[in-house]
Amino acid sequence: MTMTTALKPSRVPRGLFPVGILLAVMLPLILMPLASIYVFAARSGLEGFINAITSPEAQFALRFSLLIALLTAIINGGLGTYTAYVLSKYRFPGRDALNVIVNLPVAIPTVVVGTSLLLLWGPIGILGQFLVPLGISPMFAPAGVLLAHLFVTFPYMLGAVKPVLDELEVTYEEAAYTIGASQLEAFRFVILPALRGGLFSGALLTFAHSLGEFGATILVSGNLPFRTQTAPLYIFAQFEAGNIEAANAVAAVLATLSFVLFFALMQFNKKSARA
């Protein structure tokens, strides 16, 4: 690196001015809002902060959020890997269409996802009108929150795993077959280990997105404390009610969690890029 810069000094201008502009934009746009969470959290003092996050409602919201994120990561981890395997390995009519469909959730506004789930499972929904009278009502219940999160985060696992699978030569699997491994054994011993990196970063990404999901959750959960209220919903509700301190404390926790996950992911990617 240093060699290259030394050889081509003219190509690397000392751009203090452009960097300054960049900082001037980033500051009010990203850095200051983030900082204010912590500033406000600090203002109420440690005791106030602890009180705020240990309130039963806040505790439920945080734990519920973590639980949902964990479940989402596990379920979509499996589902996404399987989808990636099928899409990458098999050739069938409609493959391209399916490829687009499974990636669609990224493009759809989350509020629309919430609406569509309500219109399917809700009391007046296409399936709901028959199921709700039978007592099967996923909407406004924890199951509904999980459904929404599965929908919204589906493409992340796929996006992390499929490129790795695509790059794996066909002969890799064929080698396992000729050696005597069944398709399942080949997947278990040969394919899966090769996917480790993709699986980990995909799961992390899914977890992080699930933790922060708001748009779809607010619609399908009904925002019921002690039942379906996730951390982001709690923050929203507390803000609405004017309890800035309570809202802000949970927001600070959520932000910190996200930072940790994000840095873990970055570290991991750096490591696997080097390997």
What minimum distance in Å lies between the beta carbon of 163 and other proteins?
A: 16
Give how many residues touch other proteins by CB under 8 A: 19
From the list 225, 231, 260, 228, the residue with the least C-alpha distance to 248 is 231
| Amino acid (1-letter code) at residue 181 | A
Residue 272 interacts with other proteins (CB under 8 A): yes or no: no
Stretch of 131-139, 170-178, 233-241, 244-252 contacting other proteins, by CB under 8 A: 170-178
Which residue is listed with tokens 């203090």? 16
Residue 180 interacts with other proteins (CB under 8 A): yes or no: yes
From the list 176, 172, 168, 149, the residue with the least C-alpha distance to 230 is 149
Interface residue with other proteins, options 169, 242, 273, 274 (CB under 8 A): 169
In a 13 Å sphere around the CA of 252, the CA atoms on its Cβ side amount to: 22
d(CA 49, CA 43): 9
Residue 194 interacts with other proteins (CB under 8 A): yes or no: yes
Interface residue with other proteins, options 189, 259, 262, 263 (CB under 8 A): 189
Residue 104 interacts with other proteins (CB under 8 A): yes or no: no
Interface residue with other proteins, options 175, 224, 260, 266 (CB under 8 A): 175
Residue 200 interacts with other proteins (CB under 8 A): yes or no: no
Stretch of 178-186, 219-227, 237-245, 248-256 contacting other proteins, by CB under 8 A: 178-186
What minimum distance in Å lies between the beta carbon of 269 and other proteins?
A: 18
Stretch of 31-39, 60-68, 154-162, 167-175 contacting other proteins, by CB under 8 A: 167-175
Interface residue with other proteins, options 2, 4, 10, 178 (CB under 8 A): 178
Residue 96 interacts with other proteins (CB under 8 A): yes or no: no
Residue 165 interacts with other proteins (CB under 8 A): yes or no: no
Residue 135 interacts with other proteins (CB under 8 A): yes or no: no
Interface residue with other proteins, options 179, 241, 244, 260 (CB under 8 A): 179
Q: Which residues bind other proteins (CB under 8 A)?
A: 169, 171-172, 174-182, 185, 189-190, 193-194, 196, 275
